Structure 1
Amino acid sequence: MTSGEPVGRVGEIWLYPVKSLAGTQVAAADIGPDGLSGDRAWTVVAGDRPVRAKDAPVLATLAPADADAATLSAALGRPVRLEPLPPQPGTAPVHLVSRAAIARAAAGEIPEGCSAEDPRANLLLDLDGDERTWVGRDLRVGDAVLRISRTPRHCLGVYADVVTPGAVRTGDRVALI
């Protein structure tokens, strides 16, 4: 196992069990081939169409623990249901954002359509450097290895694919390999 060049630590870990709903901070998570276990596993559907927070901002205020059809329907004022989120081809399974990126956003450097207050990242990192320079590189985070695939158009940070699944915990070392 290559330890790599240390670049920081995992500051926070977030899961978003239902797409577009608020997240849940956790102390540890397993990263599998499709991302963090339990992340974005469900979606809210009205009729035959998914409902997103950009169209129904109230979704982003609801906790996943409150995610049942009756509560969601009442909040949206129309009948909705929860369905398993189908595979999302072309979507990177892990979203990483540094506290420095949030600081840059607070100073005005923010992509159009992005929320600096809620970057919706899985891993919030305390780093020495800028994660945007890692595209194409592999990163060891806890026991997992991630390949940084791209910078998002409408979000802070970077997206990553899973090279080697593994556990990640708050405080784990982050290293370029």
Structure 2
Amino acid sequence: MTRVGPVTVVGISVYPVRGCAGTPLERADVGAGGLVGDRAYAVVDLSGRVLRGKDTPALAGVTPTGHPDLDAAAVTAAVGTPVRLEPLTGRPDGAAAVHLVSRQALERAASGVVPAGCGTEDPRANLVLDLPADDSGDLERAWVGRRLRLGPVVLEVTRLPRHCLGVYAEVAQPGTVGVGDAVQILDGGAEPTG
């Protein structure tokens, strides 16, 4: 096993409205479906079509307030057409419960260095981890198939995003995660020290 130094949570974000900007948090409750409040609403135009961030880049400039009516008005102003917010039930096909990325991968992406097949755009991660001894900026990508403990929360890393940094995970044990929490790799792979 490779020892990577103490791994910690350095950022937490939820994206209450799919496609819109994230809301940074110090602590978040993690349920079976992911971070509570994450991707709770979809933006829908008058024809009933769901607007997606990749097709409607103006969504990324809207920071939700947590009030659906106010957020719908802000999105309407940003995209230039009337919209409404509809509660999402379940996850869209292919969506993971939690998206994790390392601070090091984000720094390398900012300088244009990314793993093959990845873009440099905002990965919209829920959890940003600090991996102090990771010079490659993609150590977390070796965690697929492993479990991570973050405080009381246990995540099972399931796969790599198709065109994005980091890894996707499902929730094996719900709980609350906070900035500063230590991360422990439970099953093989790169093992933190300390």
| TM-score when normalising by structure 1 | 0.89
In the TM superposition, 1:138-177 aligns within 5 A as 138-177=147-186
Post-superposition shift, 1:119?
1.7
Post-superposition CA distance 1:86-124 (Å, at most 9, x none):
3224421000000121133224225657344x2210000
Q: CA RMSD in A?
A: 2.0
Checking the alignment, whether the CA contact within 8 Å between 2:114 and 2:120 is kept in structure 1 is: no
Displacement over 6 Å in runs of 4+: none
Give the residue type in structure 2 aligned to 1:114. G
Q: Which residue pairs with 1:74 in the alignment?
A: 77
Post-superposition CA distance 1:130-152 (Å, at most 9, x none):
10111000000121000000010
Q: Which residue pairs with 2:127 in the alignment?
A: 123
**What are structure 1's unaligned runs of at least 5 residues?**
none
Give the residue type in structure 2 aligned to 1:13. I
Give the residue type in structure 1 aligned to 2:14. L
- Distance across 2 between alignment mates of 1:113 and 1:48: 31
Q: 1:56 to 1:29 in 2, by over 3 A?
A: same
**What are structure 2's unaligned runs of at least 5 residues?**
187-194
- Distance across 2 between alignment mates of 1:15 and 1:90: 18
Checking the alignment, whether the CA contact within 8 Å between 1:12 and 1:170 is kept in structure 2 is: yes
Q: Which residue pairs with 1:41 in the alignment?
A: 40
Identity of aligned residues (%): 51
